[in-house]
Amino acid sequence: MARKKIIAGNWKMNMTPSEAVKLVEELKPLVATEDADVVFCVPAIDIIPAMEAAKGSNIEIGAENMYFEEKGAFTGEISPAMLTDVGVKYVVLGHSERREYFAETSETVNKKMLKAFEHGLTPIMCCGETLEQREQGVTMDFIRQQVKVGFLNVTAAQAAISVIAYEPIWAIGTGKTATTAQAQEVCKAIRECIAEIYDEATAAAIRIQYGGSVNAATAPELFVQPDIDGGLVGGAALKPDFGKIVNWK
């Protein structure tokens, strides 16, 4: 069965709750489609107002992060139950900014993956290499390790419904998109890695996004690639351009 595309916006630390409502209202008619799942991953405080604003549309509101414990003395963190209680289905885990600035490791990402599944949340697990790693020729070794550790003890059924976002760090927020060939090559290799860990059916089912300076001009070329099942979009997700990315065909 053909994989449905998933196009997700990552708002990062942008938009106050009132700005979030305005942006959802503005984008709602522009992102209407049945061809792709459309997810806005927003700051925790924007989740409820964004959800209210998105009511009756095809937009799913997702989270940008969550903690791996159920509840308790973890000041400042958001639990999976807090997300599901308000109807969140998707959560971004292991974004490179969280790995870089908040000491996330593949091990903590794995704990979050397992906890997300326990609560019926679908993770969008990010992976991607630095420019130095690409230049040293270790891109795939590094990403395979991120995927292997991230999916430790994740079942095949859980993996099949997961989303992986391949985001070369050098392409995030820099305006430098990976070439279509580079993006397809890595997404294909990630799918092969999933086939090795699980089986061909799981690899055929899992959705793999490309992320890194995707815009309305680059989306069509990227999304037509056989192993690219949509995108994780930062900067362009805050603009009407996002409508063009979602309706890229």
Residues that bind ligand PEP in the complex, under the rule CB under 6 A? 10, 12, 167, 172-173, 211-214, 232-236
Complex with ligand PEP: residue 130 or 156, whichever CB lies closer:
130
Instruction: In whole angstroms, give the CA distance from residue 194 to residue 147.
Output: 8
Select 113 or 126, whichever has its Cβ closest to ligand PEP: 126
Cβ at position 190, least distance to ligand PEP in Å: 16
Nearer to ligand PEP, 195 or 216 (CB): 216
CB of 233 to ligand PEP, least distance (A): 5
- For the annotated catalytic residues, the residue numbers are 95, 167
Min CB(171)–ligand PEP separation in Å: 6
Burial of 156-195, coded b for 16+ CB within 10 Å and e otherwise, reads: bebbbebbbbbbbbbbbeeeebbebebbbbbbebbbebbe
CA distance 31 to 215: 14
Q: Which residue is nearest to ligand PEP (CB)?
A: 234
Q: Which amino acid would we find at residue 171?
A: A
The structure tokens 């405080």 sit at 45
* CB-based contact 88:47 (threshold 8 Å): yes
Measured CA to CA, the distance from residue 231 to residue 8 in angstroms comes to: 6
Q: Which is nearer to ligand PEP, 78 or 183 (CB)?
A: 183
Q: How far is the CB of 88 from ligand PEP (least distance, A)?
A: 18
Residue 205, both tokens? 């089912």
